[in-house]
Amino acid sequence: MVADLTTQEKLDMASKIDAHIAKNQHMPGALLPILHAIQDDIGWVPEACYLPISKALALSIAEVHGVVTFYHHFHTHPVGKHVLQICRAESCQAMGSEKLEANVKAALGIDYHETTQDGAVTLLPVYCLGNCACSPAVMLGDDVYGRMTADKVAEIVAEARAA
């Protein structure tokens, strides 16, 4: 997908990355804050950031790569406009999350770690959202939803798509 970017877009991305590095590089343990800042802004962590980060923090590129890929939160590929996470952990299983995930996957026509064709929704598994009192739970963007059914998920996804 990176190949699809125009030269201008690549330059924009690079300057954003540089700005996030410059802003965060002097704090102790700066790597995660930098990666968060990049993903919050761009939506994912492009490989193009490895070299400038490694230079700024005196790390090897392999080290940066190792950290990015260790953490489930960081996306190494572009994601859809909205990220939908379905909780797979025990409390939600006790309230039927297995059926929920099957139905949501079928409705969206995608599996975990995939994005709908229109680029609107990326589906991810998550292990507990701290909403276990109202299982099963899902998260769309930064918003948590409790006592979910496939129909309710379809509703919030439709709302997000329309917005």
Partner 1 sequence: MVKVYVPRDSTALSLGADRTAKAIQAEAGKRGMQIELIRNGSRGLFWLEPFVEVATSEGRVAFAPVQPKDVPSLFDADFLNAGAHPLNLGLTEEISWLKKQQRLTFARSGITNPVCLDDYVAHHGYKGLNNALKMTSAEIVKAVTDSGLRGRGGAAFPTGIKWNTVLGAKGEQKYIVCNADEGDSGTYSDRMIMEDDPFVLIEGMTIAGIAVGATQGYIYLRSEYPHALKTLNEAIAKAEQAGYLGQNICGSGHAFNLEVRRAAGAYICGEETSLLESLEGKRGQVRFKPPLPAIEGLFGKPTVVNNVISLATIPIILDEGAQYYADYGMGRSRGTLPIQLAGNIKQAGLVELAFGATLRELLYDFGGGSATGRPIRAVQVGGPLGAFLPESQFDTPLDYEEFSKIWAVLGHGGIVAFDDSVDMSKMARYAFEFCAIESCGKCTPCRIGSTRGAEVIDRIVANRGNAKEHGKQVQLVRDLSDTMINGSLCALGGMTPYPVLSAINHFGEDFGIESAKKAAT
CB 126 within 8 A of CB 163: no
Binding mask 4-33 toward ligand FES (x if CB under 6 A, else -) reads: ------------------------------
Closest distance to ligand FES from the beta carbon of 128 (Å): 4
Rounded CA-CA distance 81/3 in Å is: 19
Pairing of strands 121-126, 82-87: parallel
Q: Which of 137, 148, 153, 157 binds ligand FES (CB under 6 A)?
A: 137
Give the DSSP H/E element, type plus range, for residue 137. none
Residue 85 φ/ψ, nearest 5 degrees: -110, 130
Closest distance to ligand FES from the beta carbon of 87 (Å): 3
Q: Which of 57, 67, 132, 140 binds ligand FES (CB under 6 A)?
A: 132
Closest distance to ligand FES from the beta carbon of 153 (Å): 14
Closest distance to ligand FES from the beta carbon of 92 (Å): 3
Rounded CA-CA distance 138/18 in Å is: 34
Closest distance to ligand FES from the beta carbon of 113 (Å): 19
74 binding partner 1? (CB under 8 A): yes
Q: What does the DSSP 8-state code read for residue 4?
A: G
* Residue among 74, 73, 63, 86 nearest 138 (CA): 86
Q: What does the DSSP 8-state code read for residue 125?
A: E
Tokens representing 93?
């299983």
Is the CB of 35 or the CB of 100 nearer to ligand FES?
Answer: 100
Q: Which stretches of the chain bind ligand FES, using CB under 6 A?
A: 87, 89-92, 128-132, 135, 137
Q: Which stretches of the chain bind partner 1, using CB under 8 A?
A: 28-33, 35-36, 57, 66-67, 70-74, 89-95, 126-135, 137, 139, 142-147
